[in-house]
Amino acid sequence: MGTEKRLGEEEGVSNHQFHTTRLTPSYRIDLRNPTNEYVDQFFNANQVSDWSNLSWKEIGKPYEVKSLASSKKEWEKKHGEMSVKTSWEFFNRSFHNWFVKDIPAELKNSKKQLLSYFSRFQLREVKHALGETARLSLWNYAHRIEDGVWDPRGKRALFEGLDVKKPRILFLGAAEGYEAMQLYAMYPEGEVVMVDYDEFCHTDRFGHFPTTYPFLGIDPATNHHKVWYKDQMNIHYMVEDIRNLPFGKEFDIVLSVGLLEHFPDEYKEAVMDWHRKFLKPGGYVIMTTPRLQLKSRLFYKIMADVMNHTYRELMDIRQMGLYVYEGGFNIKRHGYIKVHNGIVAQPR
């Protein structure tokens, strides 16, 4: 990742480039819809008119993903129950390993190995190669072809219309920090503080995020659309436990992506309090969680060895929203994009 030429650094991105998309060996570059129009095509918004009328009896609880990574199960056989922090360390290294793969090359090699094992009737190796080919094919489709993990058009549609200028943005559980960088591009000249308690997220997931990846946003000098890159942004990365952060209510936006669903119900109120704790009066909380849908359940089943080291739930937008509403927030916008629920909220 990160070896290609950066678009528009010297000559500016042309209108032709702005409306294109292309594939790299590891991910998709998407410069379509630069003015963030037609948001309804990418964000199915506001299905619930009155959150106070919803009840858990009516909507049910989230679906718990119970298929665990084999590396977690093997570790626990030797050492006992894996701690939450160790679980995240396993997940981050596993997930990052897939983000940096040359997927077409690996798929070609995997299929070649499969045919070789099959021709020699090595059935155990055939089974393993079939599983690896299935995982590579699914990852290629979900992340590289469909761009479901990053989903820039969907995320920009979710982030549209915030009443902020030069905002301070706090990203809780930041990992590689993608969504905060997208927010910075849309609302530039502020500051991003990313927080994760796994050092690997700072050094590798964020540290090796491609400096060539273009984020569509705004040029504050002209108010025209512009491409931003990671190293043009005012970003500070803290390796720290969220519970130990030294900040007060000093951020315009507090962001989390795939955080809430990793906590059983008895901890969800505390998770919502983390978001409220650091928010300025009038500030925004932005949250996403993976959607409860059949293809998501299949994804986490097939990709269990890659993804499932931690407690995880899949929610529909009503379930996610009710947690947020019961946590003391008014929901300003809600809906879903390709594979995520999304909510913009403010404290009551």
Q: How do strand 21-23 and strand 28-30 relate by DSSP bridges? A: antiparallel
Angle ∠(329,341,323) on CA atoms, nearest 5: 35
DSSP 120: T
- 14, pLDDT greater than 80: no
- So where are the chain's domains? 15-59+150-347, 101-145
Give the pLDDT confidence score for residue 10 in this predicted structure: 38
> pLDDT tens digits for 163-208?
999 999 999 999 999 999 999 999 999 999 999 999 999 999 999 9
pLDDT at 346: 98
pLDDT value at residue 90: 98
CB 208 within 8 A of CB 231: no
What is the DSSP-derived secondary structure letter of residue 339? S
Chain segment 198-254, per-residue pLDDT in tens: 999 999 999 999 999 999 999 999 999 999 999 999 999 999 999 999 999 999 999
| Dihedral angle over CA of 295, 298, 300, 301, nearest 10 | 180
C-alpha distances (whole Å) from 330 to each of 8, 217, 347 are: 40, 27, 6
Residue 288 binned pLDDT confidence (cut-offs 50, 70, 90): very high
Alpha helices in 120-264 (DSSP H): 123-139, 152-159, 178-186, 199-200
Residue with tokens 């705004």, as numbered in its chain: 218
Of 3.30.1300.10, 1.10.1740.10, 3.90.380.10, 3.40.50.150, the CATH number of 15-59+150-347 is 3.40.50.150
**pLDDT by residue (tens digit) across 50-81?**
999 999 999 999 999 999 999 999 999 999 99
Rg of the chain's alpha carbons, rounded to an integer?
21
- Average pLDDT over every residue of 135-149: 96
Render the burial of 68-89: b for 16+ CB within 10 Å, e for the rest: bbebbeebeeeeeebeeebbbb
**DSSP H helical segments within the chain, as ranges?**
15-18, 56-59, 70-79, 84-99, 103-119, 123-139, 152-159, 178-186, 199-200, 265-277, 294-302, 304-307, 317-326
At 150, the pLDDT band (50, 70, 90 cuts) reads: very high
Shortest CA distance to 323 belongs to which of 281, 264, 283, 279? 264
- Confidence band (pLDDT; 50, 70, 90) for 135? very high
Nearest to 265 by CA among 215, 206, 197, 315: 315
Q: How far apart are CA 62 and CA 128, in angstroms?
A: 32
Contacts of 76 (CB under 8 A, 6+ apart): 82
C-alpha span between 189 and 204 (Å, rounded): 25
pLDDT at 8 over 70: no
Q: Which residue has the higher pLDDT, 279 or 10?
A: 279
- pLDDT, one tens digit per residue, over 297-316 is 999 999 999 999 999 999 99
What tens digit of pLDDT does each residue of 82-127 get? 999 999 999 999 999 999 999 999 999 999 999 998 888 888 888 8
What is the pTM assigned to this prediction?
Answer: 0.93
